Copies of this chain bind each other. A is one copy, B any other.
Amino acid sequence: MRMKSISEDKVHVVGIDLGGTSVRVGLFASDCTLVDTVTFKTRVSDGPKAVVADMAESIRTLERRHNVAVHTIGIGSPGPLDLAAGKLLQLPNFPGWDNFPLRDELSRSTRCKVVLESDANVAALAEAVMGAGKTYNVDSLVMWTLGTGVGGGIVLDNKVWRGCNDMAGELGHLSVDADGLHCSCGGQGCIERYASATAIAQAGREWFQRNSAKVAGFDWETITTATMADLADQGNSGMLGIFADVGARLGFAISQIVNTLDVPLYVVGGGVANAWHLFAPSLLSTVEKYSYVYRLGKASNRRPIPMIVPAELGSGAGLLGASLIARAQ
């Protein structure tokens, strides 16, 4: 067995997962293992410079704890971003942060090289390199992250596909119904309005209201995807129907992407993916119905069959992906 040299062990990078509620800062060793993390509340209203100071302090803490020097930081942030300029643009949940040059400010505070990337893209990259993409040994995948909203990331030949405006992979705003629900993006029928945790909880509340239903010990006003999944597992037909609809809607969106990109792997992550067993059957049958490419792939035993699977890395994908983009530079 090859031993690691001390100098290799000193190659540490930091990944940062910037969220609207909390920030996670992770120290990674050269073999991509997570050594330690610091998590703190995002002081959104104190402004971006305060949060950059918190990030820098966390990195110093990690450096002291482990007696290492960090030279490169990767940071995954909600979008929209201007990646070339390293700036946040107008982030919906970060009032007052518009156009903040996060990359350069964090670089100045830490004297490190900083790489900025969208949170959905770093999660997709992490799944590609260390998660489902590694399991199935593929170079390309498309990932949906079903959380408060629905994010998307596209990895082609092991590289994030960013598009000409850094806006590729806005897969939460694929429309599954031209006459469907209106979305805050200005569009209509966006999959985010059907398959996000927010949309699913709303559908759950509406079902209880419509059916004047009561379930012993269950408070439907504070319903979440997780509590709805529990009820569905107990056989509640309303909840089962909602998850079947989530799968059908998401399957329709995925079928469009299978027909377009013909990559071998499609990954569904985010908190909602914990209910995978409840929405996967309708998702898969819908992709089969609407995707010519999926059907041809399945019909031929010479071809790779496109796979649609739940994410493997869970909530750690963002942090790991941020460290990977730092490493790639």
Binding site for B on A (CB under 8 A): 80, 82, 138, 140, 152, 154, 156, 161-171, 173-178, 185-190, 252, 255-257, 259-264, 289-293, 295-297, 300, 302-304, 306
What residue of chain B has the Cβ atom nearest to residue A169's Cβ? B260
User: What are 6 inter-chain pairs, A to B, with CB distance below 8 A?
Assistant: A167-B296, A168-B261, A170-B259, A170-B293, A175-B255, A175-B290
Question: In the complex, what's the smallest C-beta–C-beta distance from A149 to chain B, in angstroms?
Answer: 12
Bound Cα distance A69, B290 (Å): 47
Q: Is the CB of B174 within 8 A of A256?
A: yes
With a cutoff of 8 Å between Cβ atoms, the chain B residues found around residue A252 in the complex are: 175, 178
What residue of chain B has the Cβ atom nearest to residue A248's Cβ? B178
Q: Is the CB of A168 within 8 A of B262?
A: yes
Known: A164-B264, A263-B163. A175 touches B297 (CB 8 A): no
Q: Is the CB of B170 within 8 A of A260?
A: yes
With a cutoff of 8 Å between Cβ atoms, the chain B residues found around residue A292 in the complex are: 170, 173, 185-187, 190
Question: In the complex, what's the smallest C-beta–C-beta distance from A214 to chain B, in angstroms?
Answer: 34
Q: Is the CB of B178 within 8 A of A177?
A: yes
Q: Is the CB of A163 within 8 A of B296?
A: no
With a cutoff of 8 Å between Cβ atoms, the chain B residues found around residue A174 in the complex are: 256, 259-260
Q: Is the CB of A290 within 8 A of B156?
A: no
Bound Cα distance A263, B259 (Å): 17
Bound Cα distance A286, B126 (Å): 35
